[in-house]
């Protein structure tokens, strides 16, 4: 598994700090213990020299002992004299006894001891052993303290690394969220100005890219709008001239009549398409009036009242939005059902928790599962190729439904209906259900 | 009775095609290519309804509407090329009774004109609401004894509301009855007219006491 950038920064911080404090702790340990040992050796040697001189003047060895741990041995051809803690002479390093003076450290019965050997006049060797327990306790304490400091430094490294990486990566997080907003359709997302020269370049580039993208999207939308707009004038002439001709259609029979019928119906379709295109290019713009409370059940009743009768199943529900958009959504769904499925068979409004669902059901051929997203695309008419009748739509009806529903803060989908047909469902936030 | 329509439109082809289509619908159509020409003709001859394109060379369509509205209550339908809410609302605020957007069909336009010219229902008695007295027969409205000048559309809107006997009249019903809309679309047309009506019949249009908004459904005049 690859570590995230943040983890890696934190980890490097921790390791770096661990190595530095570890080296420092180790050298401190070496220097301090070496120094303390040398000090102890020097003082022990001085003490032993003094004691050795006293030992030659027939002072009792036991009087010379410095503590309960210490021991004194005088080894010589005439035998061994000893005092204090009993120590087996065989434990003493032979090299030391052969060539005094010298010092060595040994362990006697688990206790650390410092051995100082000094030559006495004659063949005798004076050996004094000093307990090192105190010194070793100090070493243990020092070791623990250094280990604790190293561990503390490592923890600090984690914290510091985490903080630093978070701080250093904040512009990246901002970049990520801005890019996410742009991907989500908000082309106005920008990065804030950065102080850091490295980041400033990145932010500037990102912002200029976003701006170019926004302008391009605006240009495209304006172009679609301009084209549709420019088409309006000639279309007005065409549809009206067509209507006049159609009225006199009975004078034109046969080929000319068919051609006239084709021409006028296509002009009508063209006009609808231009109107829908204008509507869809306007759907992105924000000239909505402030959202108002709309009684959804009443709206459905009113819209349906102006059309072929459809069975209704309505619960009282109030939603917040733009009435014009909601009208258009329902009208387009009913148009769609008429065009492709022989008309709607049921329009239902149902509340469900804090949501309300408006569904339009038909008993037509239904929408195959793999096309249920696609039908909401612009000009997705290939999808319905088999069911194109005489009265074909603009190919934008369901795309407009989706645009409007999005602007109303809801979502729309199509599902299968049993036994046959399709159910288009619009889900919106319920304002209240008291009608 | 032959309805005389004046069509004010600068694009000659559109003018001709619309003129043909409206003539087919049984109207007597006269054409004017500019606002100045239109105003001159309206001075000289009587018309029943005027169709005004908002984008005219010279005298702007909005100015034509404003001038005509200042003169009287001649029904005006605005024809807009842009479906922007701003244009449409500006046209209605200037005094238009209705609006249509291009590409418009002759038969739709004819239905709009007929709805606008529809006579008020016969035999209705005078209605009193608050300090308003509405006499449908004569088409007169008096407020505390003083004559209030309403356009024909404003009058019919008021009559629909006052005639409901205190009940709510939905936006859709109003659009249908006053403007003949059978496609329930833009209710901004209604919003602007309600605003205009309130300005004329309310003591304080910002705090209406007479024409009350019923949130979520429509309007009512308490009886």
Cβ contact B183:A306 at 8 Å: yes
Burial of B73 by CB count in 10 Å (0-12 exposed, 13-18 middle, 19+ buried)? middle
pLDDT digits (tens, 9 = 90+) for A135-178: 888 899 999 999 999 999 889 888 988 898 888 778 778 888 88
Taking a contact as any Cβ pair under 8 Å apart, which residues of chain B between 108 and 167 contact chain A? none
Q: Looking at B66, B85, B117, which one is the last position of a domain?
A: B117
The pLDDT assigned to A63 comes to 76
Question: Contact B105/A239, CB-based, under 8 Å?
Answer: yes
A290 φ/ψ angles, rounded to the nearest 5 degrees = -60, 140
In a domain, B190, yes or no: yes
Domain of B45, CATH number, reads: 3.40.50.2300
CA-CA-CA-CA torsion for A359, A361, A367, A368, nearest 10 degrees?
A: 90
Per-residue pLDDT averaged across A240-261, rounded?
85
pLDDT digits (tens, 9 = 90+) for A181-194: 888 777 788 888 77
Residues of B in contact with A222 (CB under 8 A): none
Report residue B124's pLDDT band, with 50, 70 and 90 as the boundaries. low
**B185 pLDDT exceeds 70?**
no
The answer to whether B24 faces chain A, any CB pair under 8 Å, is: yes
> Which stretch of A259-263, B107-111, B127-131 has the lowest confidence by average pLDDT?
B127-131
Question: Contact B17/A292, CB-based, under 8 Å?
Answer: no
Report residue A286's pLDDT band, with 50, 70 and 90 as the boundaries. low
Smallest Cβ–Cβ distance between A240 and the set B18, B84, B191 belongs to B18
- The parent domain of residue B184 ranges over 127-220
Report residue A120's pLDDT band, with 50, 70 and 90 as the boundaries. confident
Q: Distance, in angstroms, between A178 CA and closest chain B CA?
A: 31
Smallest Cβ–Cβ distance between A244 and the set B20, B82, B215 belongs to B20
- Closest Cα in chain B to A271: B103
Same domain, B31 and B111: yes
Question: Contact A244/B24, CB-based, under 8 Å?
Answer: yes
The answer to whether A249 faces chain B, any CB pair under 8 Å, is: no
Same domain, B110 and B19: yes
Number of Cβ within 10 Å of residue A13's Cβ equals 21
Question: Contact B107/A244, CB-based, under 8 Å?
Answer: no
The pLDDT assigned to A391 comes to 54
Q: What is the DSSP letter of A188?
A: T
- Closest Cα in chain B to A267: B103
Same domain, B68 and B150: no
Q: Between these two residues, A248 and A425, which has the higher pLDDT value?
A: A425
Put simply, whether the predicted model's pTM sits higher than 0.95 gets the answer no
The pLDDT assigned to A333 comes to 93
The answer to whether B168 faces chain A, any CB pair under 8 Å, is: no
The pLDDT assigned to A412 comes to 94
In a domain, B94, yes or no: yes
- Closest Cα in chain B to A226: B82
Token readout for B39 is: 């105003």
First to last CA, chain A: 56
Residues of A in contact with B56 (CB under 8 A): none
The pLDDT assigned to A348 comes to 94
Same domain, B148 and B57: no
The pLDDT assigned to A362 comes to 92
Same domain, B132 and B29: no
> Which stretch of A231-240, A318-327, B125-134 has the lowest confidence by average pLDDT?
B125-134
Residues of B in contact with A305 (CB under 8 A): 172
Same domain, B113 and B131: no
Tokens 């605005």 sit on residue: B78
Q: Distance, in angstroms, between B20 CA and closest chain A CA?
A: 7
Cβ contact A129:A70 at 8 Å: yes
Per-residue pLDDT averaged across A120-131, rounded?
82
Domain of B175, CATH number, reads: 1.10.10.10
Report residue A283's pLDDT band, with 50, 70 and 90 as the boundaries. low
The pLDDT assigned to A388 comes to 45
**A310 pLDDT exceeds 50?**
yes
Report residue A346's pLDDT band, with 50, 70 and 90 as the boundaries. very high
Same domain, B37 and B106: yes
Question: Contact B107/A243, CB-based, under 8 Å?
Answer: yes
**B216 pLDDT exceeds 60?**
yes
Question: Contact A306/B103, CB-based, under 8 Å?
Answer: no
The answer to whether B25 faces chain A, any CB pair under 8 Å, is: no
Residues of B in contact with A298 (CB under 8 A): 170, 216-217
Q: Between these two residues, A179 and B35, which has the higher pLDDT value?
A: B35
Q: Where do the DSSP E strands lie in chain B?
A: 4-8, 28-32, 49-53, 76-80, 98-101, 127-129, 132-135, 140-143, 146-148, 169-170, 212-214, 218-220
Q: Between these two residues, A414 and A58, which has the higher pLDDT value?
A: A414
The answer to whether A282 faces chain B, any CB pair under 8 Å, is: yes
pLDDT digits (tens, 9 = 90+) for B190-203: 888 999 999 988 88
Per-residue pLDDT averaged across A120-129, rounded?
81
Same domain, B106 and B132: no
DSSP per-residue letters across B99-119: EEESS--HHHHHHHHHHHHPP
In a domain, B84, yes or no: yes
**A11 pLDDT exceeds 50?**
yes
Same domain, B169 and B71: no
Same domain, B154 and B186: yes
Q: Looking at B117, B145, B176, which one is the last position of a domain?
A: B117
> Which stretch of A123-127, A284-288, A369-373 has the lowest confidence by average pLDDT?
A284-288
Per-residue pLDDT averaged across B20-48, rounded?
92
Q: Distance, in angstroms, between B144 CA and closest chain A CA?
A: 34
Smallest Cβ–Cβ distance between B216 and the set A237, A279, A293 belongs to A293
Residues of chain A with pLDDT > 90, as a percent, come to: 19
Cβ contact A130:A66 at 8 Å: yes
Domains and CATH numbers, chain A: 5-151 (no CATH), 197-283 (1.10.287.130), 292-429 (3.30.565.10)
Same domain, B69 and B141: no
Cβ contact A328:A400 at 8 Å: yes
Q: Looking at B117, B150, B168, which one is the last position of a domain?
A: B117
In a domain, B159, yes or no: yes
Same domain, B60 and B140: no
Smallest Cβ–Cβ distance between B102 and the set A232, A247, A324 belongs to A232
Report residue A127's pLDDT band, with 50, 70 and 90 as the boundaries. confident
Per-residue pLDDT averaged across B9-30, rounded?
92
In a domain, B98, yes or no: yes
The answer to whether B184 faces chain A, any CB pair under 8 Å, is: yes
Q: Distance, in angstroms, between B14 CA and closest chain A CA?
A: 5
The pLDDT assigned to A288 comes to 67
**A406 pLDDT exceeds 80?**
yes
Burial of B150 by CB count in 10 Å (0-12 exposed, 13-18 middle, 19+ buried)? buried
Report residue A124's pLDDT band, with 50, 70 and 90 as the boundaries. confident
Report residue B30's pLDDT band, with 50, 70 and 90 as the boundaries. very high
Cβ contact B32:B7 at 8 Å: yes
In a domain, B122, yes or no: no
Token readout for B158 is: 């008021």
Residues of A in contact with B173 (CB under 8 A): 302
Residues of B in contact with A303 (CB under 8 A): 172, 184
Report residue A287's pLDDT band, with 50, 70 and 90 as the boundaries. low
Q: Distance, in angstroms, between A243 CA and closest chain B CA?
A: 7
pLDDT digits (tens, 9 = 90+) for B149-177: 888 889 889 988 988 888 988 887 888 88
In a domain, B89, yes or no: yes
Domain count, chain B: 2
Q: Distance, in angstroms, between B217 CA and closest chain A CA?
A: 6
Taking a contact as any Cβ pair under 8 Å apart, which residues of chain B between 41 and 70 contact chain A? none
Burial of B23 by CB count in 10 Å (0-12 exposed, 13-18 middle, 19+ buried)? middle
Residues of B in contact with A292 (CB under 8 A): 215-216
Q: Are strands A125-131 and A71-76 parallel, antiparallel or unpaired?
A: antiparallel
pLDDT digits (tens, 9 = 90+) for A63-86: 777 777 788 888 777 777 788 877
**A282 pLDDT exceeds 80?**
no
Per-residue pLDDT averaged across B121-148, rounded?
79
User: What length is written for chain B?
Assistant: 223
């Amino acid at each position: 598994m690859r570590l995230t950038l943040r983890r890696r920064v934190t980890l490097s911080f921790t390791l770096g700090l661990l190595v530095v404090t570890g080296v420092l702790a180790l050298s401190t340990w070496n220097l301090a213990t070496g120094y303390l040992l040398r000090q102890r050796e020097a003082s022990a040697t001085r003490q032993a020299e003094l004691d050795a001189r006293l030992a030659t003047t027939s002072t009792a060895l036991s009087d010379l002992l410095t503590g309960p741990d210490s021991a004194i041995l005088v080894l010589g051809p005439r035998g061994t004299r000893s005092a204090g803690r009993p120590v087996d002479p065989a434990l003493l390093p032979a090299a030391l006894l052969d060539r005094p003076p010298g010092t060595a450290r040994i362990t006697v019965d688990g206790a650390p001891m410092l051995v100082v050997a000094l030559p006495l006049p004659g063949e005798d060797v004076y050996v004094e052993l000093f307990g090192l327990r105190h010194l070793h306790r100090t070493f243990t304490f020092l070791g623990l303290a250094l280990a604790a400091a190293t561990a503390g430094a490592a923890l600090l490294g984690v914290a510091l690394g985490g903080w630093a990486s978070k701080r250093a990566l904040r512009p990246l997080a901002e970049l990520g969220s801005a890019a996410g907003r742009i991907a989500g359709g908000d082309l106005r997302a920008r990065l804030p100005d950065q102080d850091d020269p490295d980041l400033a370049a990145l932010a500037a580039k990102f912002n200029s890219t976003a701006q170019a993208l926004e302008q391009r999207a605006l240009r495209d939308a304006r172009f679609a709008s301009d084209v549709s707009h420019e088409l309006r004038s000639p279309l007005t002439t065409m549809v009206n001239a067509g209507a006049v001709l159609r009225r006199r259609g009975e004078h034109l029979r046969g080929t000319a009549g068919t051609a006239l019928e084709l021409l006028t119906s296509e002009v009508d379709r063209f006009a609808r398409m231009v109107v829908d295109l204008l509507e869809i290019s306007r759907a992105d713009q924000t000239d909505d009036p402030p959202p108002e409370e709309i009684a959804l059940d009443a709206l459905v009743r009113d819209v349906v009242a102006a059309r072929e009768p459809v069975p209704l199943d309505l619960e009282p529900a109030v939603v917040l939005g733009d009435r014009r958009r909601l009208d258009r959504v329902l009208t387009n769904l009913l148009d769609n059902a008429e065009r492709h499925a022989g008309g709607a068979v049921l329009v239902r409004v149902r509340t469900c928790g804090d949501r309300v669902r408006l569904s339009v059901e038909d008993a037509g051929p239904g929408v195959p599962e793999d096309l249920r997203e696609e039908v909401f695309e612009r000009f997705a008419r290939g999808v319905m190729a088999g069911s194109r009748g005489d009265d074909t739509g603009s190919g934008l009806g369901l795309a407009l439904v989706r645009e409007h529903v999005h602007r109303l803060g809801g979502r729309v989908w199509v599902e299968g209906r049993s036994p046959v047909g399709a159910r288009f469902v619009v889900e919106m936030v319920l304002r209240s259900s008291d009608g | 009775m032959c309805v005389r329509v004046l069509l004010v439109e600068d694009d000659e082809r559109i003018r001709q095609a619309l003129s043909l289509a409206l003539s087919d619908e049984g109207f007597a159509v006269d054409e004017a290519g500019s606002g100045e020409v239109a105003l001159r003709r309206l001075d000289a001859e009587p018309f029943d309804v005027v169709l005004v394109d908002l984008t005219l060379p010279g005298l702007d369509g909005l100015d034509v509407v404003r001038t005509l509205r200042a003169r009287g209550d001649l029904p005006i339908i605005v024809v807009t090329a842009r479906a922007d809410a701003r244009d449409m609302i500006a046209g209605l605020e200037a005094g238009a009774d209705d609006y249509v957007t291009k590409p418009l069909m002759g038969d739709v336009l004819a239905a709009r004109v007929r709805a606008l010219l529809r006579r008020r229902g016969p035999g209705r008695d005078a209605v009193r609401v608050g300090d308003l007295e509405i006499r449908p027969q004569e088409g007169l409205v008096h407020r505390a004894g003083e004559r209030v000048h309403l356009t024909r559309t404003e009058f019919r809107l008021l009559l629909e509301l006052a005639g409901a006997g205190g009940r709510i009249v939905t936006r859709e019903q109003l659009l249908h009855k006053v403007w003949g809309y059978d496609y329930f679309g833009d209710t901004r047309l209604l919003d602007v007219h309600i605003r205009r009506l309130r300005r004329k019949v309310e003591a304080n249009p910002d705090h209406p006491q007479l024409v009350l908004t019923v949130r979520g459904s429509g309007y009512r005049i308490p009886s």
